[in-house]
Amino acid sequence: MKNREHRLTFFLLIPVVLVLVAYVLYPSLRTFFESLQSDGGLTLSNYQDFFSQESKTNLEALWNSVYISVLSVVASGLIGIPLALIFNRYQFPGRGLFATAAIMPIVLPSLVGVMAFMFLYGESGLIPNLVKDLFGLKEVPFQIGGVSGILIVHAYTMYVYFYMMVSAAIGKIDPSLEEAASNLGASKFKVFWKVTFPLMTPAIVGASLLVFMISMASFSAPFLLAGGYRVLSLQIYFSKINGDMEIAATQSVILSVVSIGFLLLMRWYQNRKDYRMASKGIGAHRSEVKNPVMKWVMAAVGVIGVIILLLPHFTILLLSLVPDGTWTFQTYPSTFNFENFRLLFEDPNIFKPLKNSLVLAVIATAGNLVFGVIASYVLVKRKFVGKSFIDILVMIPWALPATVIGMNLVFAFNEKSIFSFGQILVGTFWILPLAYFIRHIPLVVRSTNAVLEQLDDSIEEASRSLGAKWFYTFRKVILPIIMPGVLSGTLLAFVESVGEFPTSVLLYTISNRPISIEIMNQLRMFNMGQAAAYGMIQITLIALVLLISNKFFGVKAERSLT
């Protein structure tokens, strides 16, 4: 019996190890070895050049990336944590609507979100020009761009991680702990600082980690808003298009080390103390705001907040209705119809990027589904030597910036290898679905792990003891139970693939250009309406997936993030 189980574990482990070694470990090692190349030999000269005073550009880009990421964490936390406390601790008119609106930035893909902010708050944006016209000013009073623009976009799109993760933590806090502290004479501030805040710490640390890593990997906001401001993710892209591949490899390794180092640091900090509760009380309750003035002040602030939160979405919707060629020298668009959507679905050339994105995403997500289920089952339900190493390999794509993953694939598959079946993949159709597949392995594995860890081993043992083969047990017993968690991660991987931009811009070809690349092309040609129409398709897909995950599988967005 034991030998049979060992053989089963071995056969399940083979495809998992092969995929991780071939498409996660091998590309990363190829990038590292490429960074050691100079004049045909192995050397550390590329790293010496990176950190030398003569090469201030790279050091400046590294410092700017870390600087922006830290500020993004602070700004996102200052918005997200207070919102989580207010919406989860107080009851006032409109609270439910405001709490729902607070997660709306999550349905904006990164590129579409940056585009919306450009249309809203850029030099020719709607809001600055509206203020200029209202007050009769000669020039627009403000515009976003550079560091401030990147931070504003990051704060808007990333505070959601703090809001959702802290909200989930607050919902699990036993109110009796805070009540006991109050009964012992502690002030409200002391109760919060000594009881509530420590219990929220894992969520805050987790959100900080997530925001820092996303900021370090940020590409869309610096690409469109940075101007001359350099960040490392952009430096990698510029080095690649300029043909400085050894420098691009070195920059990729440095960015990887910083991102993974921060991950390890935050995990160490999180594990320093035990934040679990010994009691099993009911979830936190909300207090009614009794002061009528404060009640309606909070409601008014909530209404203003909802308007600000939804403006980017309404802007993309509005611009998607503006036919190309009708908004040129005018300050505001004046013609609205569904021409852009008609062309999108009737003109084969305009529809092709959407078709490409859907086909590429379906192929990549199908691979994520199959691989994610097998890998998760092996990691959770099987015992073998090297499990921790396999778990680390599974999570590496989550820690690595998308730009680095793209460069890893460039170095690994720009020549024939056994892992590409003797083919050169760079410049072909298949490189993009492979990139999407690698990027989103952790999404499916993590969501599947969550349900498999809750599945009692006795269920599988009972089926096997009644004579059922392993595959029959897995297909008829285990898979139906874990399917909600599997599909929630799979759907999220699908929409992320549809909107993927950083890896696409490094790997696409004209024939397989996805929707994110076409948005950039339309913006360059000043076809704002068509770019916004593509953006609305992405927003609609993401909203539908989140709705389906919540309504049919009972999986809320915050569970997909943690």
Residue with tokens 């594995």: 445
Q: Phi first, then psi: give them for residue 52, nearest 5 degrees.
A: -75, 155
Supply the mean pLDDT for the chain. 84
pLDDT tens by residue, 476-535: 888 888 887 788 788 888 888 988 899 999 999 888 899 999 999 988 888 889 999 999
| Full DSSP string of 317-331 | HHHHTS-TTSSSS-S
319 and 528 in contact (C-beta within 8 Å)?
yes
**pLDDT score at 515:** 92
Average pLDDT over residues 137-153: 87
Q: Phi first, then psi: give them for residue 125, nearest 5 degrees.
A: -70, 160
Residue 90 has pLDDT above 90, yes or no: no
Residue 559 has pLDDT above 50, yes or no: no
Average pLDDT over residues 129-135: 89
pLDDT tens by residue, 242-295: 888 888 999 999 998 888 887 777 667 656 655 555 444 455 556 666 677 777
Residue 562 has pLDDT above 50, yes or no: no
Q: In Å, how far from its chain's centre is CA 8?
A: 35
Higher model confidence: residue 228 or residue 437?
A: 437
**pLDDT score at 53:** 61
Residue 15 has pLDDT above 90, yes or no: yes
What is the token pair recorded at 457?
């081993």
What is the token pair recorded at 309?
């939160």
**pLDDT score at 286:** 61
Q: Provide the 10 A C-beta neighbour count for residue 520.
A: 19
**pLDDT score at 272:** 62
| Full DSSP string of 158-188 | HHHHHHHHHHHHHHTS-HHHHHHHHHTT--H
Average pLDDT over residues 72-84: 91
Highest mean pLDDT among 8-12, 369-373, 487-491, 543-547: 369-373
The kind and range of the H/E element at 242 are none
**pLDDT score at 560:** 45
Residue with tokens 């959100």: 207
β-strand pairing of 37-38 with 41-42: antiparallel
Q: Strand, coil or helix: what is 42?
A: strand
What is the token pair recorded at 330?
């005018």
